[in-house]
C-alpha cells in the first residue's frame, strides 16, 4: 500500500511561497489518514459481522440437517473426537511515535515434502540443494527415500525461491501459506525489537512468537486477536534512531572502541526517543546466542540496558545535588581538595593537582575526586545510599524489554565510608547507561523521578519529587558550566546550549584482581537545551582510544563527548528544536547613511 506523504514537498514549497503554514498540510494529511484508518477499520468490522452472521446461518443449517439425519438413523454408541487447536498467526504491527512501521507481518510460504508422492527424489534433492545452498543434498535424499511421510524443508520462502521450487515440477514438493515477521528497517532499533520466531506450526499456518526485546516482553499484547489491527506505538522516533546509530557507529570506528551505547530520552516523561547498542544485528536474521566467551562479545548483548559499568565522574553530579538539597553546601562553598586524600592504606587523588581548595562549582567543573569524596563523607553512607535509591540507581530498570531484568546494579558488599567516597565519584557501584540517563533526567527536569519507557503515552503523569526545583535549577547551571569551562568543552553545539558531565572509569579485569591500566569506559551524560532541558543524552564507549594526537587519549572529554555533540547536532533539528540565535546588542546597531 502506498501512503501519501504527510509533508509532500511540492505542497510545502507552494505553501511557503504563499505565506501559508506548512504544518497545516501535515495536520490535514494526518486527519485524512486517521479518517481513512477509521473507515477501513469500520469496513473490516462490518465485513466480519457479515461473515459471522453467514457462519451462524450455515452452522444452524448444518446442525438442523444433522439432527434430521440422526432422527432417521438407528441409535449407536457415540465416539469421542477432538481436533487440534487453531494456530493464531495474526500479530500486531509495531510502529514508532509517528506511525512509521518498525515490525509487521509478511505473507509467505513454507516448503514441505510428502516423499510417497515424489516421482524423482534424487533429482529433487539435487535441484533443491542448488536453490538453497545451506541444504545438504545427501540428507535431503535420505529423507526423500526413507520411511518418512512428511518432511519440512523450509519454514519460509521468498517469492523468487517459491517460483524456483515450483519450476522443478515435483508433485511431492508442496507449499503451505503462512505469515512471517518482517523488520523493514533492518538493523535499526534491533535491540529494542528483539526479534520473533515460529511457535506452533502447521502446514497452512504458523504461530509467531517473540524471542527477545519488546517482541517477547509484550508478546501477549501483540498476539491478542482482539487487538491485532491496533499497532503497538513505541516512543522511538525512527529518524532520530537512525541518525543516532549512524553517528554512534562512526564514533565507535574513529575512537577505536570495542562497543558503544547511546540513549536519547525526554527529560520530563522518560520516553526514550532513541536507544542504541553497537555492535548490533538484523532481527530478520537474528544470530544464535554465543555458546562461550563474554556476553558482551555478542552483537545480541544490549550495552545500553544489560551493560553494567562503573561510570566514573558522572556520579559527581548526584553527590553535589544531594549536598545542595540537604543545605550542606552552596555552589561557592570552599572544599578542601588537597591531594592525596588518605583513608587507611588507600589514597584518593585527582587527575590534576587543583591546590588546597576549590568551590563546589569548581569541584564539578574541574572534576575533583578529592573534593567530591570530602562532600560525600559529610553526607554519610546511609543518606547516600537512600538518595541513590530514590534516583532508581540501585534496582533494575523496569523497561519494556526482556533484557532489562538483567540490569541489576552491582553494589559493594559492605557500604563502608570508603565505599561512600569512591561511589561519590563513580567507582565501586556499577549501573547501566539507561540507569544514568533516568537519574540525570530526574536531576535536571525540576527534580521529579523519571522511569524510562519505550511506550508512547502523551498523558503520562509526572513522577514523585526527589529534589527541589531550586536544586535542580542550580544543577542545570553547574552542568552548563562543565561544558563552557570544564572537561566537556567539546560538547558545545552552536545554537543548542548543552550541559553535562564526563566520566572516565578504569575497566575492571574480567577475572577480578584490579583494573586495566589502558582500558576505560568513557561516558558523557548531558542535557539540552540547558536552560530548559527537553532531552537527556548518554553516550558510552567501551575501551575507546583517540589517536589523532602524539599520544593516545582515552578520557571521555576526547572520546565520548565529541560523539555526543555530533548526535545532538544531527538529531536536535529532527526533534523540532530550533537553534537559539544570540541577540545582537543595541551597541552593535548603527544607522547607515549616505
Provide the CB-side half-sphere exposure for 487 (13 A, CA). 28
Cα–Cα distance list, 94 to 171, 178, 193, 403 (Å): 39, 19, 9, 18
C-alpha to C-alpha distance for 403 and 234, rounded to whole angstroms: 17
The gap between the terminal CA atoms of the chain, to the nearest Å, is 63
Answer positive or negative: Cα dihedral of 483, 489, 493, 495: positive
Pairing mode, if any, of strands 515-528 and 499-508?
antiparallel
Provide the CA 514 distance to its chain's centre, in angstroms: 32
Cell digits for 252? 565507535
Element housing 454 (H / E)? none
CA separation (Å) from 290 to 261, 283, 301, 308? 20, 16, 10, 19
Strand partners, 266: 535
Q: Per the structure block, which three cell numbers stand in for 552?
A: 593516545
Angstrom distance (rounded) from CA 481 to CA 166: 69
Alpha carbon separation from 463 to 401, 456, 527, 545 (Å, rounded): 21, 16, 19, 39
Helix axis angle, 316-326 to 433-444, nearest 10°: 30
179 close to 196: Cβ distance less than 8 angstroms: no
Write phi, then psi, for 328 (nearest 5 degrees): -70, -35
Q: Which single residue is written with the C-alpha cell 553527590?
A: 319
3-state secondary structure of 506: strand
How big is the chain by its Cα radius of gyration, in Å?
31
What is the CB neighbour count within 10 angstroms for residue 182? 16
Distance between CA atoms of residues 200 and 178, nearest Å: 12
Contact 330, 431 (CB under 8 A): no
Q: Which of 235, 239, 277, 313 is catalytic?
A: 313
The answer to whether 313 is a known catalytic residue is yes
Q: CB–CB of 401/305 below 8 Å? A: yes
Element of type H or E holding 363? helix 360-365
d(CA 267, CA 269): 6
Cell numbers representing residue 90 in the block: 495474526
Residue appearing with cell numbers 450455515 = 58
Q: What is the bridge-based pairing of β-strands 346-348 and 341-343?
A: antiparallel
Which of 369, 324, 304 minimizes the C-alpha distance to 476?
A: 324
C-alpha cell read off for 253 = 570506528
User: How far apart (Å, rounded) are the C-alpha atoms in residues 87 and 108?
Assistant: 16
d(CA 303, CA 306): 5
Cell of 473: 535549577
Q: What is the DSSP letter of 532?
A: S
Active-site residue list? 313
Amino acid at each position: 500500500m502506498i501512503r501519501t506523504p504527510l509533508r509532500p514537498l511540492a505542497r510545502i514549497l507552494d505553501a511557503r511561497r504563499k505565506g501559508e503554514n506548512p504544518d497545516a498540510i501535515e495536520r490535514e494529511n494526518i486527519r485524512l489518514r486517521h479518517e481513512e484508518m477509521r473507515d477501513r477499520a469500520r469496513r473490516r468490522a462490518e465485513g466480519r459481522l457479515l461473515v459471522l452472521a453467514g457462519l451462524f446461518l450455515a452452522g444452524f443449517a448444518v446442525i438442523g440437517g444433522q439432527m434430521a439425519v440422526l432422527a432417521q438413523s438407528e441409535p449407536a454408541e457415540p465416539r469421542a473426537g477432538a481436533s487440534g487447536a487453531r494456530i493464531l498467526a495474526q500479530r500486531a504491527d509495531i510502529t514508532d511515535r509517528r506511525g512509521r512501521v518498525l515490525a509487521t507481518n509478511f505473507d509467505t510460504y513454507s516448503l514441505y515434502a510428502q516423499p510417497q508422492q515424489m516421482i524423482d527424489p534424487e533429482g529433487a534433492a539435487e535441484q533443491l540443494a542448488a536453490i538453497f545452498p545451506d541444504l545438504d543434498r545427501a540428507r535431503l535424499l535420505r529423507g526423500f527415500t526413507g520411511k518418512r511421510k512428511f518432511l519440512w524443508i523450509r519454514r519460509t520462502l521468498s517469492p523468487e525461491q517459491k517460483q524456483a521450487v515450483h519450476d522443478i515440477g515435483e508433485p511431492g514438493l508442496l507449499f503451505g501459506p503462512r505469515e512471517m515477521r518482517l523488520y523493514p528497517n533492518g538493523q535499526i532499533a534491533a535491540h529494542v525489537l528483539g526479534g520473533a520466531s515460529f511457535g506452533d506450526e502447521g502446514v497452512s499456518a504458523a504461530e509467531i512468537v517473540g524471542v527477545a526485546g519488546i517482541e517477547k516482553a509484550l508478546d501477549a499484547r501483540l498476539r491478542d486477536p482482539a487487538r491485532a489491527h491496533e499497532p503497538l506505538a513505541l516512543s522511538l522516533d525512527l529518524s532520530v534512531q537512525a541518525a543516532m546509530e549512524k553517528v554512534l557507529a562512526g564514533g565507535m570506528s574513529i575512537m577505536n572502541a570495542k562497543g558503544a551505547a547511546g540513549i536519547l530520552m525526554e527529560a520530563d516523561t522518560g520516553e526514550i526517543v532513541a536507544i542504541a547498542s553497537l555492535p548490533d544485528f538484523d532481527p530478520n536474521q537474528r544470530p544464535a546466542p554465543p555458546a562461550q566467551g563474554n556476553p558482551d562479545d555478542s552483537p545480541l548483548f544490549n550495552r545500553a540496558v544489560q551493560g553494567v559499568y562503573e561510570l566514573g565522574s558522572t556520579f559527581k553530579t548526584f553527590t553535589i545535588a544531594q549536598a545542595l538539597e540537604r543545605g550542606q553546601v552552596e555552589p561557592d562553598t570552599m572544599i578542601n581538595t588537597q591531594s592525596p586524600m588518605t583513608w587507611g592504606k588507600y589514597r584518593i587523588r585527582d587527575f590534576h593537582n587543583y591546590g588546597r581548595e576549590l568551590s563546589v562549582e569548581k569541584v564539578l567543573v574541574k572534576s575533583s575526586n578529592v573534593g567530591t569524596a570530602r562532600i560525600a563523607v559529610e553526607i554519610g553512607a546511609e543518606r547516600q545510599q537512600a538518595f541513590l535509591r530514590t534516583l532508581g540507581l540501585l534496582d533494575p530498570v523496569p523497561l519494556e524489554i526482556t533484557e532489562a531484568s538483567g540490569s541489576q546494579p552491582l553494589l559493594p558488599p559492605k557500604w563502608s565510608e570508603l565505599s561512600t567516597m569512591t561511589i561519590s565519584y563513580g567507582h565501586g557501584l556499577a549501573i547501566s547507561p539507561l540507569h544514568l540517563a533516568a537519574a540525570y533526567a530526574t536531576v535536571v527536569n525540576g527534580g521529579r523521578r523519571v522511569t524510562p519507557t519505550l511506550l508512547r503515552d502523551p498523558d503520562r503523569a509526572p513522577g514523585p519529587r526527589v529534589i527541589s526545583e531550586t536544586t535542580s535549577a542550580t544543577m542545570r547551571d553547574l552542568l552548563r558550566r562543565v561544558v563552557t569551562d570544564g572537561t566537556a568543552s567539546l560538547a558545545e553545539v552552536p545554537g543548542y546550549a548543552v550541559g553535562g558531565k564526563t566520566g572516565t572509569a578504569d575497566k575492571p579485569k574480567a577475572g577480578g584482581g584490579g583494573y586495566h591500566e589502558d582500558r576505560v569506559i568513557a561516558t558523557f551524560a548531558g542535557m539540552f537545551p540547558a536552560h530548559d532541558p527537553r532531552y537527556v543524552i548518554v553516550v558510552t564507549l567501551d575501551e575507546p582510544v583517540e589517536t589523532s594526537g602524539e599520544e593516545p587519549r582515552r578520557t571521555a572529554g576526547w572520546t565520548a563527548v565529541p560523539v555526543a555533540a555530533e548526535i545532538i547536532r544531527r538529531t536536535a533539528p529532527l526533534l523540532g528544536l530550533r537553534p537559539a540565535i544570540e541577540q545582537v546588542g543595541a551597541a552593535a546597531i548603527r544607522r547607515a547613511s549616505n
